[in-house]
Chains A and B, each alone.
Chain A
Amino acid sequence: MIKKIIDQLNASKATDWKLTETIVDSQEYFFVKNKMDIGRAKKVHHFEATVYVDFTEGSEKYRGSSSLSLSPLLNTNELTEAIEGAVFAASFVKNPWYPIAEAYSKVFPFQKIDLKKLEKETLAAIINAQSHTKAWINSSELFVSEIQTRILNSNGLDCSYCKYQTYLETIVSAAGKEEVELYDDYQLSIPDSVLIGNRISELLKLVTERSLAQPTPSLKEIPVLLTGEPAKEFLRYYLEQANAKMKYDKMSEAEIGKAVQGNQSGDSISLDIVSQLDNSYYGAPVDDDGFLIHSQRIIENGLLKNFWGDLRYSYYLGVELTGSAENFKVCPGKASVEELRNQPHLEVSHFSAVDADMTTGDFGGEIRLGWYYDGNKRIAVSGGSVTGNIREISSMKLSKDVHLEGDFFGPTSILIEGFNISGE
């Protein structure tokens, strides 16, 4: 099929083209409590093409584009029609010209593992985790996939790589004053039964705390300690503000050489984009253009060093091309989490959802699990909300404790002054 698509793309009136082939083979397990509810498997083959059409007006050169999904079951007529339709549509798209990735050919090395063995161990870890505490797993869903990707373009680029992705969604419950639950999604490359077992054990402890939680009191002028996913999403704001597309689309006001954090005391951020983090779900050696991603320092001590992004938007901004990385890393702070917990504060590890607006900096969420420390005792709390604007905080301190959380490696916790807390 791929040869048929390439022949059609070459025969079309497109100035350039890009083609991505993806083959996914996955196994999926759905548990309700300790019983298997349903099993699923998937074997799918996808093609995504982008056609580019160049034209000039006066002395300006423009590039139109249109992308399309191509089923492996398209017949020749359907394929011709789909590609010609996309080329026709692209001729109405008037964007400033930009290049596609340069030619190279590479098959990235890939270490095959015995996925079935790891799946078995992981299933055992999930089952065993249910029998140790008074809290329990309400339900869980495990997805383990092997994904082969090949990217080609009309310049002669031809690269391919393979990766594993493991996704575990876990709902844990505990009975206290009433039955409560916590939600978690855990993303890894390979299904590591030890990491997964530890993650579930920690969740079971946390949901037990939620079962004993009191309503969040009304608190004013008290720092908020974000831990885990909320801390990651808070830091993602700085990553996105340093993105070339966000800058080009005027959704970011960041400028190279200038501070990204505003007038705040505490720690300055140093942030890298990273092509691959050890056992990250999101690791890939190249971006969607096939461009080899360079891990690179983007923000250093609170100052923007360079925008990061794909070929098109980096070209538009005239900045060094980094490639569009899927992972980011933030350098640790000076204080341990325990030290950050020394002063009165509200710590939040679980919001119903973290709402962090990457354009405006608005941040907030309803508290599902937190802890209020008044200087003497620490009590679990639930309910109420934290709101504020990342641009308007007065102080930020990063923990020196770090962890891998999805596409992020960095501080587990951040102590923030300047957020509002709504409680009872």
Chain B
Amino acid sequence: MKTGQSVFLEAKRSLLKELISNLESDFSYVSVLGTDVKGKQYNVMTTGVTINDSMWSERGFVLRLHDGIGFFEFSFNTIENDSVETLYREIKERAMMFRELTKSQNIQTASTPVPVETEEVFNLQDEVAVPLENLTPGEIIGRLTNFKNQAHELSDEVVNVMALMENVQVHKLFLSGKKELSQSYIWSQGYLYILARRDNKTKYSIKGFSGLKGLEILDEMDGHINELVDQALMLLSAERMEPGVYDVICSPSVSGLIAHEAFGHGVEMDMFVKGRAKAVEYLNQPVASELVSMHDGAAGVREVSSYAFDDEGTMASDTLIIEKGILKRGISDVVSASILESQPTGNGKRESFERKAYARMTNTYFSPGKDKLEDMIASIDHGFLLEDYYSGMEDPKNWGIQCLIAYGKEIRNGRFTGKIVSPVMMTGYVPSLLKSISMVSDDFELSGTGACGKGHKEFAKVSAGGPYIKAKARLG
């Protein structure tokens, strides 16, 4: 069923055009992004139930203008028939105040070209298999409660369970002198979380589900409780990692984390502009094993960061970042691309209409290879299969990597020993890690739960994944 258009944005379209038209008499470039994002989060825990609006809900506008010197933006969420003129004056005044302040402080302005756009009109209304209206809140809570009850029936050591589902309807409207773009789509995510305790030790297992999906996400969550309870109980007897360098096999989720943290952040081209990306020095040079190809793009795959156009009105694409081990190109927003004299790749994303657009990842992944997982396990004398992760952090300038991995399953002489280590901190120098990749499986999984930050803020939806990869890594 198709996602309907936003009545709110459609009602404001003509007012926004009027505002743009007024401002175009004073400024070289004017555009507006309107957002109407509505979401609900249903959360059943052993200790309570909540139904709240999603944290991704937003409704408002961000206006971008270029005054011939540089860019200025204004975020607002009120516009009525009688307020266009007032808003026009306020935006103009604040833009001028900003420019006067920088001049009075003798602050130089970065030279950013005025955007050159071509005529474009576009409308997308995406579809989901099971519309959000198909179940009442009570029925959704009932489904999630069943997951919770199943977990408690399996073990007395389970002390809390969380079953969460979130559905978000995204409507965006981008208007400028030459563009008139609109899109509507739905993404959903779910989590199953099991908290287990034995003596004084507490551990948890967690599994995420995501996609451009509706209520079908609930069906995908079904049937995973047993494995998650087993995993949480297994972690209660996990041992500490003995620090060292090991052969590792990374699961698709850990591969995705590496793709995202190791290279994704480092090829966000606003980092090129700032001189914060080591990747600039390695364009068209080998940075990984020949077995490695890596993509990012809102087009090409369907996950939570798939869309038709980005928050700057650039159509989505599929960027091949690493091709057979060679670093080919980065991903960019409009401003970075104009400074670097390259083409924007549709990666200009905002946390919300209230925040600045940056070059951001969308769906980032390693391409699958030809190896079989069982052959990869059999090839290891002593190492670990690394499964799931809690967090990761990038270091685009120095190509360090930090991945906090949920657990590792020890392998000796090609077989699992039964020993589990948890948690596992994987660190190291990114090219060394990627060049050490010696086997790539023919599996492929993407996951888009959680959020990605730029530094420690500007959270945005992304997905990441890939196949199983075999590499050498420092674990602690």
Contacts and interface: CB of A to CB of B under 8 A. Distances in A.
A132 to B, nearest CB: 17
A30 B457 CA distance: 14
Nearest to A182: B397
Contacts of B101: 116, 119-120, 123
Given A66-B51, A169-B457, A92 B274 contact: no
Contact of B51 (A90, A171, A248): A90
Contact of A180 (B110, B204, B397): B397
B57 interface: yes
Interface string B47-58: 111111100011
Contact of A42 (B75, B95, B391): B75
A244 to B, nearest CB: 12
A250 B75 contact: no
Contact of B474 (A120, A391, A422): A422
A124 B404 contact: no
A250 to B, nearest CB: 4
A255 to B, nearest CB: 12
A91 B141 CA distance: 11
Contacts of A391: 200
Interface in A31-76: 32-46, 64-69, 71-73
Interface in A198-234: 218
Contacts, number: 248
A44 B335 contact: no
Give the one of B70, B276, B391 with max A CB within 10 A: B276
A120 B455 CA distance: 25
A353 B402 contact: yes
Contacts of A39: 70-73, 95, 98-99, 102
B46 interface: yes
B78 A45 contact: yes
Interface string B443-472: 000000000000111000000000000000
Contact of B274 (A44, A46, A139): A139
A25 B476 CA distance: 45
A366 B397 contact: no
B226 interface: no
B202 A366 contact: no
B402 A366 contact: yes
Interface size grouping (class) on chain B: 35 or more
B302 interface: no
B70 A38 contact: yes
A35 B240 CA distance: 48
Given A36-B70, A95-B49, A181-B397, A357 B390 contact: yes
Nearest to A38: B71
B307 to A, nearest CB: 22
B160 A250 contact: yes
Give the one of B45, B79, B104, B240 with max A CB within 10 A: B240
B45 A45 contact: no
Given A127-B105, A383-B400, A353 B240 contact: no
A127 B107 contact: yes
A251 B58 CA distance: 31
A352 B393 contact: yes
Interface string A132-148: 00000011000000000
A73 B8 contact: yes
B191 to A, nearest CB: 15
Given A36-B110, A44-B76, A387 B276 contact: no
Given A41-B74, A360-B203, A384 B195 contact: no
Interface residues of A, number: 83
A253 B200 contact: yes
B288 to A, nearest CB: 20
Nearest to A423: B243
A169 B455 contact: yes
The SS class assigned to the A binding surface is: strand
B90 to A, nearest CB: 8
Interface string B96-114: 0011011011111110100
Interface string A112-124: 0000100110011
B423 A364 contact: yes
A39 B95 CA distance: 8
B104 A40 contact: no
Contacts of A365: 393, 402, 425
Interface string A253-269: 10000000000000000
A36 B107 contact: yes
Nearest to A27: B98
B402 A71 contact: no
Contacts of A192: none
A73 B8 CA distance: 9
Nearest to A361: B202
B138 interface: yes
A292 B2 CA distance: 47
B78 A40 contact: no
B276 A364 contact: no
B398 A180 contact: yes
Contacts of A119: 101
Nearest to A24: B354
B315 interface: no
A67 B49 CA distance: 12
Contact of A45 (B53, B77, B90): B77
Interface in A374-424: 383-387, 391, 420-423
A383 B108 contact: no
A44 B51 contact: no
Interface in A305-349: none
A80 B44 CA distance: 26
A185 interface: yes
Contacts of B8: 71, 73, 78
Contacts of B197: 250, 253
Contact of B107 (A35, A138, A179, A423): A35
A359 interface: yes
A7 interface: no
A399 B404 CA distance: 28
A359 B232 CA distance: 14
Given A138-B275, A353-B402, A422-B474, A44 B52 contact: no
Given A123-B101, A359-B204, 6 more contacts: A42-B75, A88-B137, A181-B397, A250-B197, A368-B395, A422-B425
24 contacts: A33-B274, A34-B107, A35-B107, A36-B102, A37-B110, A38-B73, A38-B335, A38-B356, A39-B70, A39-B71, A41-B73, A42-B354, A43-B75, A43-B90, A68-B53, A72-B78, A86-B51, A351-B402, A352-B400, A359-B195, A364-B425, A364-B476, A387-B243, A422-B475
Closest 6 CB pairs between A and B? A422-B476, A422-B243, A353-B393, A366-B402, A92-B138, A39-B98
Interface of B: 8, 12, 40, 45-53, 57-60, 70-80, 90, 94-95, 98-99, 101-102, 104-110, 112, 136-138, 141, 159-160, 195, 197, 200, 202-204, 240-241, 243-244, 273-276, 335, 354, 356, 390-391, 393-395, 397-398, 400-402, 404, 423, 425, 427, 429, 455-457, 474-476
